[in-house]
Structure 1
Amino acid sequence: MKIESVATARLVLYPMGVGEAERIVAREPGDGDLWGEEYPLDGDVRACTGFLRGVAERGDPGVFRPYEIRLADSGVAVGGIGFHGPPDEIGVATVGYGLVPGVRGRGYASEALRALLELARVAGVTGVKGDADLDNPASHRVMEAAGMRCVAEDEQLRHFYLGF
């Protein structure tokens, strides 16, 4: 299944395939890969590991996969965003994201998340959830800027949700 890249004003969300995900997990760029400093992050490796496991167990997840966040003007990969897998039994998908330190604070994460939320809405999910550590207010602001609302908090995490 060919999944299209998603373009925003400043970014391109590039859908990961098995080959790209294997390179991320190995932390070995392929020919033509343009990786920013410190990319991939540990979160990218975890997301791609889960993606590869899911493909082996359930097959291709369609749009519900990890995406590389690339700068539109240069094509350099500066982070990742995506789904933790297909939607659950009630149609809710879980998202996660991360950017390398050198590009944080520029609104890229919120821009990428808004695009991913629209992708999920068009794909027919009933909602999208995400969470962030209590001591990560920057991530809280990212989800709020993308339209998600805090719906719960526990000892470690603040939980966000956007229903469609």
Structure 2
Amino acid sequence: MRALGGDQVDEAVASCTATLRTVVDRDWEGVKAGRVEWSCLHTAEHIAGDLIAYAGQLAGRAQDAYVPFEITLDEGTDNAGALHVIETTGALLSAAVRTAPRDVRAFHPYPFRSADREGFAAMGIAEVLLHTHDIAEGLGIAYAPSEDLAEAVLACIFPHVQPGPAAWPTLLWATGRGNLPGRAPVTEWHWHNNLVIPAERLTLTGVRPGAAHDLRLGGDGGFEWIDGGPYQGTREAAGMTVKAYEAGVLRPEFGLFALVRREDGRAVGGIGFHGVPDDEGRVEIGYDLAEAARGQGYATEALRALSEWALARDDVSVLFAAIEPDNLASQAVVSRAGFVPASVAEERTAHEGHDAADGALLLYVRRA
């Protein structure tokens, strides 16, 4: 699962224009594009509009709404001209993605009201791939992008969708454009950009499945780490994220977050949940730091921020943290973050099926 950036935007646009240029002499204005309600020419215009809109959001650092502009083709623009506009707007998005710093986020409504440069790249690529498919379907020609590009789009902005036997048919199914055996047709869908939670000195940055896959294999997950990072617990948590994604049970907001230091953009550790809340709203939380980041209050700050975010939700009522009896530093962290030793009844509940079921561990809780 590769990361998405300017090169992949260029790749998507090149696959679009190479395919559609073979039928540039056909009637695009009088033919409906696949399952959408637009003509093929209007759909090409829509591709260009999405590309320039995403470039504008990211380059303009829009924070509260869409930048109020749109692009339209000049009257009389032919099919070749429409493809030139797609190439041009694609180049603008590619440039915006390449030049945006890693920590920059701009407004996009789904689902947490912002996206970073990889999210905008993924959304732009998805628009190109899917609407090229629509146009090709309307004109009766074959089209399929590279499997690894479709796979990367799924892992980036469809982390809640279980991967299928092949990525491209899965992406078509996930956007209501096809069927997959054993899965109900999709009638409504949205992008799913990653969540970020601000803290005082840190930003808790949601780790996507592709980044988690890289971390699990020993990579950096696309983050710049301080010396000694990421620590082993973060890599193990990344493996849990990948397994949940592959099983189709990942809820990314209850996955892994990298702790990114604001002052220099370097990651110092990881924090996250051991799964989704149960029917009673109970969920376990865990964290670790690179050794060089310990003793500076980062773990307490991150645990407070994530706990407050979680307990503000309707589906979370109790957070658990399980700690080794001799880990006095971690016991101090959870205490400073508002956790208290679990009651006998809470310990019994944990032992009946939660991850914090090891009787050798001390159990701490924080309640809503």
Q: Which has the higher strand share?
A: 1
In structure 2, what is the equivalent of residue 143 of structure 1? 334
1:156 aligns with 2:356: no
Trace 1:70-149 onto structure 2 (pairs within 5 A). 70-124=260-314, 125-149=316-340
Residues 205 and 259 of structure 2 are in contact (CA less than 8 Å); yes or no, is this contact kept in structure 1?
Answer: yes
**1-structure distance, mates of 2:240, 2:279:** 19
Q: Which has the higher helix share?
A: 2
Match among 205, 210, 223 for residue 19 of structure 1:
210
In structure 1, what is the equivalent of residue 239 of structure 2? 49
Match among 192, 217, 225 for residue 35 of structure 1:
225
**1-structure distance, mates of 2:300, 2:245:** 27
Structure 1 residue 42: Cα displacement = 1.2
Structure 1 residue 4: Cα displacement = 2.5
TM-score by length of 2: 0.42
Structure 1 residue 10: Cα displacement = 0.5
**2-structure distance, mates of 1:2, 1:79:** 21
Structure 1 residue 16: Cα displacement = 0.6
1:9 aligns with 2:212: no
Helix, strand or coil: the match of 2:224? coil
Structure 1 residue 123: Cα displacement = 2.6
In angstroms, what is the RMSD of aligned CA positions? 1.7
Helix, strand or coil: the match of 1:54? helix
Structure 1 residue 155: Cα displacement = 5.9
Residues 27 and 40 of structure 1 are in contact (CA less than 8 Å); yes or no, is this contact kept in structure 2?
Answer: no
Helix, strand or coil: the match of 1:45? helix
Per-residue deviation, residues 87-117 of structure 1 (Å, max 9, x unmatched)? 1221111000000111111111000000110
Residues 280 and 317 of structure 2 are in contact (CA less than 8 Å); yes or no, is this contact kept in structure 1?
Answer: yes
**1-structure distance, mates of 2:274, 2:257:** 11
Structure 1 residue 48: Cα displacement = 0.8
**2-structure distance, mates of 1:61, 1:140:** 28
Residues 208 and 252 of structure 2 are in contact (CA less than 8 Å); yes or no, is this contact kept in structure 1?
Answer: no
| Displacement over 2 Å in runs of 4+ | 152-156
**2-structure distance, mates of 1:148, 1:29:** 31
Unaligned runs of 5+ in 2: 1-191, 348-357
**2-structure distance, mates of 1:71, 1:126:** 29
Amino acid at match of 1:58: G
TM-score by length of 1: 0.92
